[in-house]
Amino acid sequence: MTTHVQSRMPEPEEPHGVSVPHPHHEIPYGKVFAALMVLTVITVAIGIYLRFENEFVNVLLALLVACVKGSLVAMFFMHLKYEGKLIYLIFISPLILCVILIVALLPDILPVGDASMTNFNTPDLYNPAHGDAALRTAEPAKPAAH
């Protein structure tokens, strides 16, 4: 009498959903491309035709459009829309650190007091005859005598 000895251990039960294929998401690349083109036209229009007197508003509008375009690229072309929640933590953490770094460095780069930009907004600064002519007519430096 021979008994059959099982030579291998039974396969362990598979963890939940390991070999289940992920659902395929239809990504509307054409629509995203069209949206990016429209946003590019809007950016150019803001830069050339739709200028506001306050330059801060122009910059904010351009940055807003750039953020929307960047979000579209990240969500659809980089497939982040269909990722889990951990990827958002990995994305948001460095973004928060970057904002903290920029805000921390702002006092070092903003003009304060007498160094204010209002001192640089003089008519002489924009007069090409004043600046370039003075540089061209200046006498060359004489070498020092030994």
Tens digits of residue pLDDT in 75-85: 888 877 877 78
Domain residue limits, the chain: 27-78, 83-110
More confident of the two residues 138 and 12: 12
| pLDDT score recorded for residue 141 | 59
Residue found by looking up tokens 């003009």 in the block: 111
Residue 44, helix vs strand vs coil: helix
CB distance 72 to 35 below 8 Å:
yes
CA dist., res. 120 & res. 90, Å (int)? 43
142 vs 49, higher pLDDT = 49
- Residue 72: which of 31, 42, 101 has the closest Cα? 31
Between 49 and 39, whose confidence is greater? 39
